[in-house]
Amino acid sequence: MVTDTVADFLARMQNGIVRKKDSILAPKTRMVLEITRILKEEGMIEGFEENDGVVNVIVKYVEGEPMVTKFVRISKPGQRVYVGAKEILPVMNGRGISIVSTSKGMLSGGVAKKQGIGGELICEIW
């Protein structure tokens, strides 16, 4: 039984991209769906499909190289990390994104900073 579904999803994405997979399957949870929605909005993946308890993420490649190469879990079940709007920093000089769980739902770091709300810093992706 997986206790940290976000870390599991990020590891699956990282491993799938290293192995040059076209699509990656992950167990469907609300957090996983929100992270994939943000990745799609930011143009880091081609898209995703929801099926019976599974999310199929279609990886985006540009000239044979993946759009995303690194997934880092920041806030963990044993040690939560919270940030204010002013503490949300650009990831890889703006080439990556952070994902923040706010009172308005899951948002990318840039959107949360523009709206002036902080929250739990879930992960950074670049």
The class (CATH top level) of 71-125 is alpha beta
Cβ neighbour number for residue 121 with a 10 Å cutoff: 22
CA 88 – CA 90 distance, rounded (Å) = 7
107: its two tokens: 């948002």
Residues of the chain below pLDDT 70: none
How much is the pLDDT for 20?
97
What is the distance, to the nearest Å, from the Cα of residue 37 to the centroid of all Cα atoms in its chain? 9
User: Can you tell me the distance from the alpha carbon of 34 to that of 22, in angstroms, rounded to the nearest whole number?
Assistant: 20
β-pairing verdict for 119-125 and 97-102: antiparallel
Q: What is the pLDDT of residues 78-93, one digit of tens each?
A: 999 999 999 999 999 9
Q: CB-hemisphere CA count at 13 Å for 45?
A: 24
What pLDDT, on the 0 to 100 scale, is given for residue 90? Answer: 95
- Global pTM value: 0.94
CATH top-level class for 5-66? alpha beta
For the chain, give every domain's residue range: 5-66, 71-125
- What integer pLDDT is reported at residue 16 of this predicted model? 98
Helix (H) or strand (E) holding 84, with range, is none
The pLDDT assigned to 2 comes to 87
* Confidence at residue 73, expressed as pLDDT on a 0 to 100 scale: 98
